C-alpha cells in the first residue's frame, strides 16, 4: 500500500510518502502561483520549480515566496479552497512519482476541523487528478484529522524514553503546532481528543516574524520584509542582508519570541482550564516549535515538554503512520 502523509502549511509543504519500510520525505517552501509570476534567468530558461496545471492554468509550486513576482500569501480561512493550495497538493502528488496513491492522510487546523471543511478537502483531494498535460494520478482514499494529531502519532512512534511514553499513553498530552497562520493545539487523554481543551491562537509565526521586522526597524530605520526573515529562518541562516548591511537575527528573534510566544501559551492554558485539567506532556511540533518551547516550559512548569528531533516534518510523518494503521 502506497501512503502519503501531507501537511500543507502556510510556510512549508511537508510530505512523507511510500510503502512501509520504504518511505521518503520532502519539505518545500510554500510559494505557489501562476507560472507567469516566476522570473526567468538571464539565458531565457525558466528557473527551477514544480510545474502543475490547476484548472487548466499553468502554476508553479514549492518555491520561496519572494521569488514569485506580485505574489500574495493566502492567510485566511479559505486557504484550502484556493488555487495556491491545490497547486501545492499537485506538487506533492508529482514528487511521489506514483500513478496511484492508496491512502492520503492530511490535517486541518483545529478551528476548521468540522464537517464543512473536511468534506471540502476530501472532495478536492480524492479521485483522479490531471496534474500536468501528460501526468495523471489517482488518490483512492483521503483521511482528514486535526492538524496537531500528526505530531502526537509521530512522537508516539519515535520516542525512546519509556517514562515519557507512559505519560503520553496514560496521561494528558497537549500537542501544540506553532504554524505560520495559527498556533493549533489539541489535548488528548490516553489518545482520545478532548475538544474542550483544544483550539487555535493567532499569535503564530507570522506575528513573530512581523515583531522581528519591527524590532529591526527600530535599529535600522527601515523594516525588512517578513518574507526575507522567513526565508532565513527556514534555511537556518543566522542573518539577512538589509539595506546593504548584514543584520544578525538572534537578538531580534529573541525579543519577538519573548513578546509573542507567551501570549499563545497563555491562551492554551486558559482553554485547558475550561475543561478542568492540566497537562502531563506538551509536544511542540512544526516550524516554530523551538521559538515557543521556552514559553511553554514557563507557563506549564509541571509538564514535560517534548520537541521532536525534526519538528518540521513531525505532522506529515505522523499522518503517514496513521495511514499505515
Would you list the DSSP string of 58-92? EEEEEE-GGGSTT-----STTGGGSHHHHHHHHHH
Percentage with pLDDT > 70 across the chain? 97
Q: Predicted confidence band at 277 (pLDDT cuts at 50, 70, 90)?
A: confident
| pLDDT tens column, 177-204 | 998 888 989 898 887 888 778 888 889 9
Read off the pLDDT of residues 128-139 as tens digits, 9 standing for 90 and up. Answer: 999 999 999 999
Q: Give CA separation, 184 vs 154, 187, 205, 245, in Å.
A: 16, 10, 12, 36
Assign residue 321 a region: left if phi > 0, alpha if psi is -120 to 50, beta otherwise?
Answer: alpha
Q: What is the pLDDT of residue 262?
A: 97
DSSP 8-state secondary structure symbol assigned to residue 302: T
Characterize 198-207 residue by residue with b for buried, 16 or more Cβ atoms within 10 angstroms of its Cβ, and e for exposed: bbbbebbbbb
How far apart CA 176 and CA 148 sit, in angstroms, is 6
**pLDDT at 276 exceeding the cut of 90:** no
Query: Residue for cell digits 521532536?
Result: 308
State percent of the chain over pLDDT 90: 71
Strand, helix or coil for residue 281:
strand
Q: Look at residue 133 and give its three-state secondary structure.
A: coil
Q: Given pLDDT bands bounded at 50, 70 and 90, which one contains residue 40? A: low
Q: What is the DSSP string of 229-270?
A: HHHHHHTT-SEEEETTEEEE-HHHHHHHHHHHHHHHHHHHHH
DSSP state of 312: T
CA–CA gap between residue 231 and residue 287 (Å, rounded):
12
Q: What is the pLDDT of residue 67?
A: 84
Q: What is the pLDDT of residues 3-33, one digit of tens each?
A: 999 999 988 999 999 999 899 999 999 999 9
The residue among 241, 247, 234, 286 whose CA lies nearest residue 64 is: 234
Cell reading at 117 = 471543511
| All cell numbers assigned to 46 | 525558466
- For the cut 70, the answer to whether the pLDDT of residue 271 exceeds it is yes
Q: Which residues of 307-317 are buried (b: 16+ CB within 10 A; e: fewer)?
A: bbeebbbbbbb
What mean pLDDT, rounded, does the chain reach?
Answer: 91
- Check pLDDT > 50 for residue 43: no
In the chain, the domains with their CATH numbers are: 3-145 (3.30.420.40)
User: Residue 44: pLDDT above 60?
Assistant: no
pLDDT tens digit sequence for 56-107: 999 999 998 888 887 777 777 788 999 999 999 999 999 999 999 999 999 9
Higher-confidence residue of 112 and 100: namely 100
- Is the pTM higher than 0.85? yes
Amino acid at each position: 500500500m502506497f501512503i502519503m502523509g501531507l501537511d500543507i502549511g502556510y510556510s512549508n509543504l511537508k510530505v512523507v510518502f511510500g510503502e512501509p519500510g520504504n518511505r521518503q520525505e520532502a519539505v518545500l517552501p510554500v510559494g505557489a502561483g501562476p507560472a507567469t509570476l516566476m522570473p526567468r534567468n538571464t539565458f531565457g530558461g525558466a528557473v527551477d520549480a514544480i510545474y502543475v496545471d490547476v484548472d487548466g492554468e499553468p502554476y508553479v509550486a514549492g518555491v520561496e515566496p519572494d521569488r514569485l513576482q506580485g505574489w500574495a500569501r493566502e492567510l485566511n480561512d479559505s486557504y484550502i479552497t484556493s488555487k495556491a493550495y491545490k497547486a501545492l497538493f499537485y506538487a506533492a502528488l508529482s514528487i511521489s512519482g506514483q500513478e496511484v496513491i492508496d491512502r492520503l492522510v492530511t490535517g486541518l487546523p483545529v478551528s476548521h476541523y468540522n464537517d464543512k471543511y473536511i468534506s471540502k478537502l476530501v472532495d478536492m483531494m480524492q479521485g483522479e487528478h490531471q496534474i500536468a498535460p501528460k501526468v495523471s494520478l489517482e488518490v483512492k482514499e483521503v483521511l482528514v484529522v486535526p492538524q496537531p494529531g500528526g505530531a502526537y502519532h509521530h512522537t508516539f512512534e519515535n520516542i525512546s524514553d519509556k517514562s515519557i511514553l507512559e505519560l503520553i499513553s496514560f496521561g494528558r498530552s497537549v500537542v501544540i503546532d506553532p504554524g505560520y497562520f495559527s498556533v493549533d493545539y489539541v489535548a488528548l487523554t490516553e489518545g482520545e481528543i478532548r475538544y474542550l481543551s483544544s483550539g487555535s491562537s493567532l499569535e503564530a509565526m507570522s506575528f513573530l516574524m512581523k515583531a522581528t521586522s519591527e524590532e529591526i526597524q527600530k535599529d535600522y530605520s527601515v523594516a525588512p520584509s517578513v518574507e526575507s526573515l522567513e526565508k532565513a529562518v527556514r534555511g537556518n541562516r543566522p542573518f539577512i542582508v538589509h539595506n546593504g548591511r548584514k543584520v544578525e537575527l538572534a537578538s531580534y528573534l529573541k525579543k519577538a519570541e519573548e513578546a509573542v510566544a507567551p501570549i499563545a501559551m497563555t491562551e492554551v492554558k486558559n482553554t485547558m482550564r475550561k475543561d478542568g485539567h492540566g497537562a502531563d506532556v506538551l509536544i511542540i511540533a512544526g516550524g516554530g516549535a523551538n521559538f515557543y518551547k521556552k514559553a511553554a516550559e514557563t507557563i506549564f512548569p509541571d509538564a514535560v515538554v517534548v520537541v521532536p528531533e525534526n519538528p518540521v516534518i513531525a505532522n506529515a510523518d505522523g499522518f503517514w503512520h496513521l495511514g499505515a494503521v
